[in-house]
């Protein structure tokens, strides 16, 4: 089977699709949405609890190789691990818009 991506709506509006019969290991991505950023001005926040639990339950009971990524160019998604190396959440960090353009470009002045 090819790679599998699990989209996580950070407001908790989506539920994972089940993949019964998939033979692990499967390379997979937790694709973390940035919906929560619409409700806060924080530059860092944690995706955890009931929002991410259904996805982790689907993935961690099997031998998936997990990576995380954000759906926005201006956010970084970093897995948060417990003492056993299991993902318990995903830390989201805002990237300054000025890091996306060259400081000599005119667009730099508008950020």
pLDDT per residue, tens digit, the chain (111 aa), is 457 778 888 988 877 776 666 666 667 788 999 999 889 899 999 999 989 888 888 776 666 778 899 998 889 999 999 998 888 999 999 988 777 777 787 766 665
Name 69's Cβ contacts closer than 8 Å, sequence gap at least 6.
29, 30, 31, 32, 77
Count of C-beta atoms within a 10 Å radius of residue 56? 20
Q: What is the pTM of this model?
A: 0.77
């Amino acid at each position: 089977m090819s790679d599998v991506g699990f989209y996580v709506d950070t407001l908790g509006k989506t539920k994972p699709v089940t993949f019964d019969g998939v033979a692990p290991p499967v390379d997979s991505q937790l694709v973390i949405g940035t919906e929560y950023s619409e409700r806060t001005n924080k530059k860092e926040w944690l995706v955890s609890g009931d929002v991410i639990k259904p996805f982790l339950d689907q993935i961690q009971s099997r031998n998936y190789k997990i990576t995380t990524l954000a759906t926005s160019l201006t956010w970084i998604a970093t897995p948060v691990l417990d003492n056993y190396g299991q993902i318990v959440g995903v830390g989201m960090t805002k990237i300054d818009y000025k890091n996306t353009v060259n400081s000599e470009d005119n667009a730099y002045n508008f950020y």
